[in-house]
Structure 1
């Protein structure tokens, strides 16, 4: 089989490193025996056995001739140069606006192949004159809890991740105020964010939601493998982002069987379906920290979506459960890599299924 290596931040703490971990694990389970070349600055204190095996494989690959591997996949490729020679150097890219910067385009032209993490990113790259295919993110079924309905109590909405303009946190707070202010609706909004974002969250709650006490901020540092409890306690997860390269939180919400309310724009459009509540993009707005534009939903439309869930939470639960079945069928990491042609010569999971069925 042609040799393959991954250059990437690695780990499970932040989202970029978690994607690197998932790519490496998927390549290994698909039979590639990949080498690993960690991105510069990667901490080694949380490396797992799959990382250590791949590091050893990478050391072996360094000892080969001028082209040490056949294919080198570089995750977050527009920010770093390939660290070893390879016959095919391939960048995997996320980008949070509709316009690629000139510098990023120059970097990507040095690669033999470019992958966007969604159709939105691939199209953005393509407009810069660089051809791009799609290599999507996915989920790991063995990292998910068994499905269960939300516990009794208020109808709970969850906003998980950064508190910022790009994530549309301000839009959600304004919509929550528009939907439920001056009512006795038994609802709750949980803002699960990083500790560094708590101050902004409280300030925006006061500014956009009149300090509504039904809004809770949870800023404690929680390992990624414990975030499932937040999904399980929610009736709906809200992703009102102005732009997402992919939007992994939204896909994970569906994998946990939770109703997803999301802006119908950018990366999430790849996995949104009729088992989601799609809020139309209403206006073109400047992107945050990137050149070009993004898009935002109307506060009134987002408020309507919140009211819909609050009025019939059982229907939201049914939507989420249907979405879980779809995502676990079509949106696992192994399924997405196979779809991109990275199934490998010895697909270990497929072989295990054949043995089990036989």
Structure 2
């Protein structure tokens, strides 16, 4: 089977969606399929929409579809193809990591409400144009099923098993360290809730000993990232902002951390919580989106936009190391309940094969 993947931007950019795509392509190739990756520039939503009427893009997309047995479309590119899929020779499958309409639902302004409505209409048009849909979570499936009734769909959640953590050592030391080591992993942007984190740190008494490391690219929302850096520099609690780093360095940060704090305003899945739990690191997420279903009883779930709840959770772990140790074991056990990548990827291959077969 020749599988095409159409995505936007650099597939090596550190993000959960791109990591999912890369691992899927590598697995398919290792298990007998041919994979071709096609990328288009990541632009504004409006610019992507214009691709539907650009002759050169239409010809390029048609040529891609002519050369593959099936075309996977990352949700990043859906505005570029929503009116073109019906004319393509190959069947198309939507690979849904995050839908824009769910992002705008995290706000409550009139403009965000309007954007949610407009995006939902476009998403409905796109989702009705594909031959199959791959959801990254049950929540994404539920969101889609509230818009349309897909004929073929699959829930294929990400796995958190790309690292090989020495969990035995890390769990034994969690209740003897002096400083609570807090890790934040994710693109520095409004949706990830870094501003909530900063506010929570301001509420923690000076007598509580903790240190924070923020890992993630700072280019998605540069002004927001600058504001976070400025605010972090003015805190009494030490906060280190690393920017994007390699997988090897990220693994070291996970191994050194006690708690992962990512108070996102929305997560369609939240792979980073799962990766943290693989190290026995205790995740703190929010009730917005699918994070709570990933974390389960392996960590703490708080409301979004609630710095008081976050500061209370961090302070509790800093002052009660037996609780931290208990949660560390629970986190590792919770990680073990999730499917591994072999299970996820093989289910996708079977799903794609069934669509090609008709």
Q: Same fold (TM over 0.5)?
A: yes
Shift of 1:39: 2.1
Which ranges of structure 2 fall in alignment gaps of 5 or more residues?
43-61, 106-115, 354-358
Deviation string, structure 1 residues 21-55 (Cα, Å, up to 9, x no partner): 111123345x352422322359xxxxxxxxxxxxx
Q: Counterpart in 2 of 1:17?
A: 18
Which of 90, 95, 108 in structure 1 is aligned with 2:93? 90
Q: Counterpart in 1 of 2:50?
A: none
Q: Is the 8 A contact 2:285 2:300 kept in 1?
A: yes
Distance in structure 2 (CA, Å) of the matches to 1:160 and 1:301: 19
Distance in structure 1 (CA, Å) of the matches to 2:93 and 2:347: 17
Aligned to 2:40, what secondary structure does the other structure show?
coil
Higher mean alpha-carbon deviation, 190-199 vs 262-271, is at 190-199
Q: Is the alpha carbon distance of 1:127 and 1:193 closer, same or farther for their aligned partners in structure 2, counting shifts above 3 Å?
A: same
1:122 aligns with 2:120: no
Distance in structure 2 (CA, Å) of the matches to 1:260 and 1:14: 20
Q: Using CA pairs under 8 Å that are at least 6 residues apart, name the structure with larger relative contact order, 1 or 2.
A: 1
Distance in structure 2 (CA, Å) of the matches to 1:243 and 1:221: 21
Which of 313, 318, 335 in structure 2 is aligned with 1:327? 335
Distance in structure 2 (CA, Å) of the matches to 1:86 and 1:204: 52
1:146 aligns with 2:154: no
Deviation string, structure 1 residues 205-229 (Cα, Å, up to 9, x no partner): 36xxxx2232313234422342111
Q: Is the alpha carbon distance of 1:64 and 1:102 closer, same or farther for their aligned partners in structure 2, counting shifts above 3 Å?
A: closer
Q: Is the alpha carbon distance of 1:4 and 1:329 closer, same or farther for their aligned partners in structure 2, counting shifts above 3 Å?
A: farther
Distance in structure 2 (CA, Å) of the matches to 1:65 and 1:217: 46
Deviation string, structure 1 residues 307-358 (Cα, Å, up to 9, x no partner): 221122343234234323442452322223345673899xxxxxxxxxxxxx
Shift of 1:258: 0.6
- Where do residues 263-302 of structure 1 align in structure 2 (5 Å cutoff)? 263-279=286-302, 281=303, 296-302=304-310
Higher mean alpha-carbon deviation, 132-141 vs 168-177, is at 132-141
Q: Counterpart in 1 of 2:229?
A: 202
Q: Is the 8 A contact 2:282 2:327 kept in 1?
A: yes
Q: Is the alpha carbon distance of 1:166 and 1:271 closer, same or farther for their aligned partners in structure 2, counting shifts above 3 Å?
A: same
Which of 1, 4, 7 in structure 1 is aligned with 2:5? 7
Distance in structure 2 (CA, Å) of the matches to 1:65 and 1:260: 42
Distance in structure 2 (CA, Å) of the matches to 1:90 and 1:322: 36
Q: Is the 8 A contact 1:255 1:324 kept in 2?
A: yes
Q: Judging by fraction of residues, say which structure has more helix.
A: 2
Q: Is the alpha carbon distance of 1:112 and 1:343 closer, same or farther for their aligned partners in structure 2, counting shifts above 3 Å?
A: closer
1:222 aligns with 2:245: yes
Q: Is the alpha carbon distance of 1:202 and 1:67 closer, same or farther for their aligned partners in structure 2, counting shifts above 3 Å?
A: closer
Q: Is the alpha carbon distance of 1:125 and 1:243 closer, same or farther for their aligned partners in structure 2, counting shifts above 3 Å?
A: same
Shift of 1:6: 3.7
Q: Is the alpha carbon distance of 1:343 and 1:26 closer, same or farther for their aligned partners in structure 2, counting shifts above 3 Å?
A: farther
Q: Is the 8 A contact 1:8 1:20 kept in 2?
A: no
1:189 aligns with 2:207: no
Q: Is the alpha carbon distance of 1:123 and 1:329 closer, same or farther for their aligned partners in structure 2, counting shifts above 3 Å?
A: closer
Which ranges of structure 1 fall in alignment gaps of 5 or more residues?
43-61, 282-295, 346-358
How much is the aligned-residue C-alpha RMSD, in angstroms? 3.3
> Aligned residues, how many?
300
Higher mean alpha-carbon deviation, 211-220 vs 74-83, is at 74-83
Q: Counterpart in 2 of 1:303?
A: 311
Q: Is the alpha carbon distance of 1:227 and 1:85 closer, same or farther for their aligned partners in structure 2, counting shifts above 3 Å?
A: same
Q: Is the 8 A contact 1:118 1:270 kept in 2?
A: no
Distance in structure 1 (CA, Å) of the matches to 2:333 and 2:4: 30
Distance in structure 1 (CA, Å) of the matches to 2:310 and 2:181: 15
Higher mean alpha-carbon deviation, 247-256 vs 318-327, is at 318-327
